[in-house]
Amino acid sequence: MEILVCIKRVPDTAENEIEINSAGNDIERDDLVYSVNEWDNYAVEEAIQLRDKVGGSVTVITVGDEESEEVLRREMAMGADKGILLTDEAFENSDGRGVAAILKAAIDQGRYDLILTGAQADEGAAQTGGMLAAMLEYPYASLVNEIEVLDDKTLKIGREIEGGKQEVSSIGLPCVLSIQTGINEPRYVGIRGIRKVASVDIPELGLSELGLSADQVGEAGSRVKRVDYFVPETGEGAEILEGDTEEVAAKLIEMLKARGGIK
């Protein structure tokens, strides 16, 4: 099975104090520590486990600048077989649709049975996987937390849905799946693995290599444009009711009555 995993280099929230820049249109990105997007890391681990069960290879791919090569190498040290970097100044400020178009152009140059993305990335839009599937005209499922290969044309997948319920479906290959955290336990990446892939060639593909035009991607191709970034004002803190169960219940009833919630 040939598996492609779409990954992204994002600010590591555990290592950074995130602040809004002076223009109010982005976060302050100077001196930030970056890492691979958490959801994508689970997707790569799942791809590696599937490859180990049924054979094939795992390719990781990202859209970004030259520094994004570091997350490709990290996931290759984890166990992915190959990496592809999609980089071009024309790709800067692409919206979700633009990123999906860039990925599709690269996918069209290969042959992949399964394409995985993280359920969401740093900005939380959770849109790239669905847009990519629509452009490829592939079946799609989101929030996937279980994958089983039934045969060379079909997968059984589990999805996390509302109310803590699990939905189980079959889906035909090729397809796109967005992976939820908790589907597995991503393996530790050691120094030995990182050194092993340090000199492995990672091809770089830009606008011309992908057969794209400048008006399809970047700011020119974006239909969604960021107009503001702000931190909401802090409201009043929650009131904590103390006491045993009966005391807390009585206080809660009195509060509801006082505020018109019950009569």
pLDDT digits (tens, 9 = 90+) for 38-96: 999 999 999 999 999 999 999 999 999 999 999 999 999 999 999 999 999 999 999 99
pLDDT digits (tens, 9 = 90+) for 10-41: 988 778 788 888 888 778 888 888 999 999 99
Q: Cβ distance 242 to 112 under 8 Å?
A: no
Could you check whether the bond before residue 174 is cis, i.e. omega within 30 degrees of 0? yes
| Overall average pLDDT of the 220-238 stretch | 82
The model's confidence at residue 209, banded by pLDDT at 50, 70 and 90, is very high
If you write DSSP's letter for every residue of 200-244 in order, what string do you get? Answer: ----EE-TTTTT--GGGSHHHH-SS------PPPP-PPPPPP-S-
Instruction: Give the pLDDT score at 144.
Output: 97
Site of tokens 């970097």: 85
**Backbone phi and psi for residue 227, each to the nearest 5 degrees, phi listed first:** -110, -20
Q: Where are the domains of the chain?
A: 2-221
For the CA atoms of 100, 105, 106, 111, the dihedral, rounded to the nearest 10 degrees, stands at 110
Instruction: Give the pLDDT score at 124.
Output: 82
This prediction's pTM: 0.86
Instruction: Give the pLDDT score at 257.
Output: 87
Instruction: Give the pLDDT score at 125.
Output: 86
Mean pLDDT of the residues in the chain? 93
Instruction: Give the pLDDT score at 168.
Output: 97
Q: Label residues 111-133 b or e (16+ Cβ within 10 Å = b).
A: ebbbbbbbbbbbeeebbbbbbbb
CATH fit for domain 2-221, picks 3.90.380.10, 3.30.590.10, 3.30.43.10, 3.40.50.620:
3.40.50.620
Euclidean distance between CA atoms 50 and 61, whole angstroms: 18
The model's confidence at residue 112, banded by pLDDT at 50, 70 and 90, is very high
Encoded amino acid at 210, one letter = L
Instruction: Give the pLDDT score at 116.
Output: 98
